[in-house]
Amino acid sequence: MAVEIDDGIDVDEVARRMLSAPLAQAVGFELIAIEAGRVGLRVPWREDLVGDLGREIIAGGVVTALIDQACAMSNISVKKNGGPTLDLRVDYMRGAAPRAGVSCEAHCYHVTRSIAFVRAIAWDADRSDPMATALATFALREPSAA
Amino acid sequence: MSLPAERLQAFLERTPYVRFLGMRAELAGDEMTAILPFDPKLIGNRMADALHGGVLGAFMETTALAQLALSGDLPRLPKTIDVTIEYLKVGRALDTYARADLRKVGRRIANVHVEAWQENRSQPVAALRGHFLLPQE
């Protein structure tokens, strides 16, 4: 299940460009690491990102957005014609700890002519104790439109 | 037993992330329409002027939680077990609407479908199916 990596992709430029998106800036996504096909991102805890006021736990929707962002970046880091998300499935094993930020690692593990397959995990304190796992598929654009 | 409108308002107020997104909701009887007014900070791809996919997912997940919150007196918020998000069209720089359908509310677990649209309800931009763990007394 190797992924053929397009020539001439600068992964640092991919990270800069995609993390400059207004939503990424507004929520505060930060790069942990990027290489072709693998992306680590995190979002620090913040009061306005909480899902339930009394419990100070970061909202599930923030985690979904972080996972979507990391998955899209892992696709664009191997394919210049990486396109929109087709579907995203997230399983939440547990919530984050109160006042904890969330980290996510996405791996684009297989690409066909038209589809990229990505999986991701998210955790708060310890990568070996994930709070969510996810699967995503992306449509690749027609080569002429890339 | 509180009124649905009060339960909905209580849910929206106890969720800071709802305010961050700028989301609100309107109620007609027990039918709720969630509204996500366009805001430039919700853009995920500046070149395509498209809403962030994660924002659409978060909006639909929150719509499902709001519908569950207004449908009954829950001691705490339900917890999301899983969501499957289908992206059907690019979300444009426009207001987005969503409605949730409680397909099954069991004693412990609820199954909810949500559809989001912009200009035309018959052409949804995204859909979500999720399972939610209901709080026990």
Average pLDDT of adjacent 10-residue blocks, chain A of 146 residues: 84 93 96 97 96 89 95 94 92 94 97 95 96 96 66
CB contact under 8 A, B19 and A89: no
Within a domain: residue A2?
A: no
* A137 interfaces chain B, CB cutoff of 8 Å: no
Q: What is the pLDDT of residues A131-145, one digit of tens each?
A: 999 999 999 988 755
Within a domain: residue A138?
A: yes
Within a domain: residue A3?
A: no
Give the tokens for residue B133.
């763990």
CB contact under 8 A, B54 and A87: no
Q: Structural domain tally of chain B?
A: 1
Residue A105 near residue A73, CB atoms below 8 Å: no
Question: Which structural domain, as residue segments, surrounds residue B40?
Answer: 4-133
* B34 interfaces chain A, CB cutoff of 8 Å: no
* CATH, residue A21: 3.10.129.10
Q: Residues of B with CB below 8 A from A86's CB?
A: 86-87
* CATH, residue B107: 3.10.129.10
Q: Closest-CA residue in chain A for B18?
A: A51
CB contact under 8 A, B15 and A59: yes
Could you give the CA distance from residue B57 to residue B68 in angstroms, rounded to a whole number? 17
Q: Structural domain tally of chain A?
A: 1
Within a domain: residue A6?
A: no
Within a domain: residue A42?
A: yes
Tell if the pTM clears 0.90, that is, is over it.
yes
Within a domain: residue A124?
A: yes
* B90 interfaces chain A, CB cutoff of 8 Å: yes
| ipTM exceeding cut-off 0.90 for this assembly | yes
CB contact under 8 A, B41 and A66: no
Cα separation values, A11 from A17, A77, A121, B12, B129, Å: 10, 6, 20, 39, 33
Pairing of strands B43-45, B96-105: unpaired
Residue A99 near residue A45, CB atoms below 8 Å: yes
Distance in Å from the first CA to the final CA of chain A: 24
Question: Which structural domain, as residue segments, surrounds residue A87?
Answer: 11-145
